[in-house]
Amino acid sequence: KSFPCLTSLLSVAVAALLWNNGRPRSSTLVVHAFSTTSSSSSTIHSIDNIPCRETSIYISTLDQSITILEATLEGQDKLVDEVLMLDEERDESSDNIVDNDPYGSVLWPAALTVSEHITRDSFLKSSGGDNNHPPTLLELGTGTGLVALAASASNKYESILATDYETVPLKLLDAAYSLNQNDDNDIPTTTTPIVTSLFDICNLSVPLPPADIVCAADILYEKSTGIALAKRCIEALERGSRVVIGCSPGRPGRPAFLEELKRLLNPRLKEVDFVDVEGSTCTGERNNLICGAGSSSISDEPEMLIVALMDLTPDCL
């Protein structure tokens, strides 16, 4: 994904406003356990001078809550202001907080859906993993890191590599991982370590890092990202990886993703699409340029939300 400052950020915000009542199309309705998010915590952390709040997310498949860090409204405003600076006003010698977009600083609904999907026993068994040979996981566009944290808490992955093309999300994830290791429980928990790394899915000259399972949640914010993700899906499938993609309603890059994926798969697989699953909205304040007023992704209290999910295995090729 790539957001060249003002023009792209505003266009994405407008698209979000236009699409916020949309529903994902699919051929199948899969009902999942309804999970909730809690944003009542008042604990504030400073990550790269960005104020961030602790948010507790209940993962039904693990029957436990995961603590993530997401930017407060003040922090989001700061990140948005950084993005909206005109190129000529940027000091190339300065260390900007964020290069292109602030969306990874807050949680989005598909992250919860993907987290629960990849930590189900049935999913792990069908992926060929067992206690002796657990699968490896690669997450693209980790954002606040909920998916990686849930996979870590399940302790059913051999290794976890969480990537993003921005540094702020990776720092949020690193800090959240430490928080989850130092909770109030006296009972020691065993988790899989998380490795974080910068990685741009749109830079197709750099191959995907190796992993048995490749996943991404809510990264289809524009057409170019959708096309790039489709190509990454084929790259992963051809090397034998399983691919899981989650997408909340109204993501502008989803049509381009589906079109490109079907083009690349043709004639191997023509009928590829998302399926609808019951997920949950997120709570908490959002900057209007990060999430437009009236968006179906955000609510004052957690509500059921239909989220699109795609699960592809190498045998579809």
Q: DSSP for 46-68?
A: EETTEEEEEEEEEETTTTEEEEE
Kindly state the average pLDDT of the residues 93-107: 70
pLDDT at 182: 76
CA 29 vs. chain centroid, Å, equals: 21
Given a cut of 70, is residue 91 above it in pLDDT?
no
Confidence band for 272, pLDDT divided at 50, 70 and 90: confident
Span 244-257, average pLDDT: 96
CB 222 within 8 A of CB 3: yes
pLDDT at 211 over 50: yes
Characterise 256 by phi-psi region: left (phi > 0), alpha (psi -120 to 50), beta (else). Answer: alpha
What pLDDT is attached to residue 4? 36
DSSP summary character for residue 257 = H
Alpha-carbon distance of 131 to 126, in angstroms, equals: 13
Residue 99: band (very low, low, confident or very high) from pLDDT cuts 50, 70, 90: low
Q: What is the pLDDT of residue 301?
A: 93
pLDDT at 34 over 70: no
Lowest mean pLDDT among 89-98, 214-223, 245-254, 297-306: 89-98
User: What pLDDT is recorded for position 37?
Assistant: 46
Say which range, 4-18, 136-150, 178-192, has the weakest mean pLDDT.
Answer: 4-18
Give 102's pLDDT tier (boundaries 50, 70, 90). Answer: confident
- Quote the CA–CA distance of 223 and 51 in Å, as a whole number: 31
Average pLDDT, the chain: 83
Tokens representing 267 are 């004639």
Question: Which residues is 159 bridged to in the sheet?
Answer: 136
Indicate whether 38 pLDDT > 60.
no
For the entire predicted model, the pTM comes to 0.85
Q: Which strands make up the sheet holding 159-164, listed edge to edge?
A: 29-30, 275-280, 304-312, 242-247, 213-217, 136-140, 159-164, 194-198
More confident residue, 189 or 143: 143
Radius of gyration of the chain (CA): 18
Task: Give the span between the Cα atoms of 279 and 88, in whole angstroms.
Answer: 42
What is the pLDDT averaged over residues 94-114?
Answer: 80
Q: What is the pLDDT of residue 96?
A: 52
Structure token digits, residue 196 = 């974080």
Q: What is the pLDDT of residue 15?
A: 39
CA atoms within 13 A on the CB side of 291: 25
pLDDT one-digit tens code per residue, 155-201:
999 999 999 999 999 999 999 999 998 765 544 567 999 999 999 99
Q: What is the reported pLDDT for 129?
A: 65
What tokens appear for 307 in the block? Answer: 């989220």
Distance (Å, rounded) from C-alpha 127 to C-alpha 232?
19
Whether 24 and 274 have beta carbons less than 8 Å apart is answered as yes
Identity at 315, one-letter amino acid code:
D
